[in-house]
Chains A and B, each alone.
Chain A
Amino acid sequence: MAGPRVVVAMSGGVDSSVAAALLVQQGYEVIGMMMRLWSEPGNEEQNRCCTPDALAQARRVAAQLNIPFYAVDARSVFYDAVVTNFISDYAQGLTPNPCINCNRKIRWSFLLQRALSIGAEFMATGHYVRLTKSEDGLIHLGKAVDLNKDQSYVLHVLTQAQLKHALFPLGEYTKPQVRQLARDFALPVAERAESQDLCFLGEGDYRAFLERTNPNIKNPGPILTSNGTRIGEHTGLSFYTIGQRKGIPVNSSVPLYVLHKDIQQNALIVGELAELGRNQLRAGEVNWIAGSAPIEAKRLAVKIRYKAQPVEGLVTPLQDQTALVQFDENLRDITPGQAAVFYDQDKVVGGGIILPELHV
């Protein structure tokens, strides 16, 4: 008799294919599903994770593993929940991470619902994270063994209700081991290239995408120094990121950095390296993995970007699913729209989206 039924979210890539193979080996009743996500019309062939080719690769893997496999159309729900947010976040001066949104609203909501509706007990993905369960029944989200591949940052949004259905078979392996497993399982995708870019942008540039999708995004305004002196004109706030140095259209004898985006005045505030950085941030939409906020402030390791090194800070839970994080020193690239994820050693405590700071 087969073990518990699990749906594996497959992408045709190495990671999700090996995840599926491992679960088959472990005796689960495995079903593959692949979401068709939205691509810009005319750009469908470039979408890294759901092109017809990726779909064909996933089908080959499923056929080899002898598991049922279904394509699930998620184009309109993905567009509504992820792409429109991406566009409007940029319009508001934020630098969003759409993968987080996708995990929250598509993969671990829309697709999980599909999985549960066909009687699956679990859903699995090829993410590199580890789950552990403590004696009180709580499920903890931990970093992967392979810290280079660790994806706990983008999964900090998961709730206990989602985690209790989640399986992450790759968390104990390094990427080279996973490639070796793919070869050992003789999976046809063992040598497939890694997908890196935002799936729906294909190989294109996000700035060009924004210009095509939102004509209002090209909204020139002043470039100001921190004391308010106008020193140039920018092409639209969406095209700049906090901490950015290259591409600021100003002649200056010293290197200038983007310090802040003032949405009200449509002004780009720039300054020297010494002026860059803040020692605190406020995060919204905070998810606490344990299901509720810690009772008191706590010193935790905080990651402010996917690839950033964690920095210790005092995390204070506040009202309305927000939190304040205070660092000992200034951090240069606190970027509204990105996530701040809080770690206690290797465990994710929670995280939220960095809010734009009112500039004074």
Chain B
Amino acid sequence: MMSNNLSYFDYAATTPVDQRVLDTMLPFFRENFGNPSSIHQYGQHAEGAVENARASIAHYLNCRPGEVIFTSGGTESDNLALRGVAFGMRQQRGSNHILIPPAEHHAVLRTAHHLAKYHSFDLEYLPVNEYGLTTANDVAERLRPTTAIVSVMYANNEIGTINPIAEIGAVCRNNGIPFHTDAVQAAAYLPVDCQSLNVDLLSLGSHKFYGPKGMGVLYVRKGVPFIPQQTGGSQEMGLRAGTSNLPYIAGFARAFELAHIERELRTEIVRPLRDRLIGRILEEIPQSQLTGHPHLRLPNHASFVFEGVNGNDLLMHLDLAGFACSSGSACKTGNPEPSEVLTTIGLSRDWALGSLRLTLGSESNLAQVDQLLECLPHIIQGLR
């Protein structure tokens, strides 16, 4: 077990499972354990639970249940979206062009690289501004008749910036080009209404909002050209084979429901703490800079760079001082290379190496924040 007096500032990496979510999941391990594909009553009960979950998620996504595909997590959802649509569009329309910003999560970025390298898709990067933001105009200028898919993340995991998804989606829709958004990081705090966001595909992972790890959803708008990537049984409307992971599906649905119902409440808790972190750190620590957009950012997300500080050392010192933080993405190998996202938004190596991401959540409180604010300037001073 972890040390008792450790404060958790890494809710963007993952969250603990909400007790109410766990309670929803447990009966599906031993009591209602049937295979939803079976004909008998065990199977019927299980299938009922899966479809209840799907209907509930569809309700909050504002889409049809048949458009909700269960996956093994956000990464699989991103993979499935890009591969499924890229190949579908190539087959149906001969499209060959992929458009993404370079600041995407690796699940999108490396999937696009893979499609370019091994399947000869033409990968083009959208520009990002100094906040890591991509505009609808950026997309409009680069869309081609042969574009197979555009993918822009809803909110950036490393720097918290929120992209204008509805506007980008409108541009794509007007041109008849499929548009995917990776909403994995955003869904804990931002509304995910697939209609008002103008998206054709949207990825979610439940462990970012107090659901279980290893559970995701991909929304796929009906009619979007799509070729399944995992073949086998005909689960998930034939779009993603494999026995339904019932306890986790139920957990996802409950966690997503709670995220929707409690969104404002949760936001009210974290936003003032985030603002306090940003204000005090920029004020009290010399040569510090906020990364990402000053206000178009996730309400629980504060990210910084400090000039001339080794980010890995900073995390180690903070951890030993009782604060579990991140440099931006969950990498533990001690890799000294600066994050691609930070260099993409124009930070020099000497700044980009000293990154710190503080993300808040259900157990965050003012005392923890103030303890961190007390400690951080000394640690940074010591490391310079």
Contacts and interface: CB of A to CB of B under 8 A. Distances in A.
Interface of A: 31, 36, 55, 66, 68, 70-73, 75-76, 114, 117-119
Given A117-B382, A118-B320, A70 B334 contact: yes
B244 interface: no
Interface stretch (B28-36, B158-166, B207-215, B311-319): B311-319
Contacts of B312: 70, 72-73
A68 B319 contact: yes
Interface of B: 1, 3, 312-313, 316-317, 319-320, 332-336, 382
Contacts of A31: 320
A25 to B, nearest CB: 18
Contacts, number: 32
Given A66-B1, A117-B382, A73 B316 contact: no
A71 B317 CA distance: 13
A36 B334 contact: yes
Contacts of A118: 316-317, 320
A72 B334 contact: yes
A36 B312 CA distance: 13
A73 B335 contact: yes
A72 B316 CA distance: 10
Nearest 3 interchain pairs by C-beta: A71-B334, A73-B334, A73-B336
B1 A71 contact: no
A118 B312 CA distance: 13
A118 B313 CA distance: 9
Contacts of A76: 336
B331 to A, nearest CB: 10
11 contacts: A31-B320, A36-B333, A66-B1, A68-B3, A70-B334, A71-B332, A72-B334, A75-B336, A117-B317, A118-B317, A118-B320
Contacts of A55: 333
Nearest to A73: B334
A71 B320 contact: no
Nearest to B310: A73
A74 B152 CA distance: 36
Contact of B320 (A36, A73, A75, A119): A119
Contacts of B1: 66
A324 B312 CA distance: 45
A245 to B, nearest CB: 44
B335 A68 contact: no
Given A118-B320, A119-B320, A71 B333 contact: yes
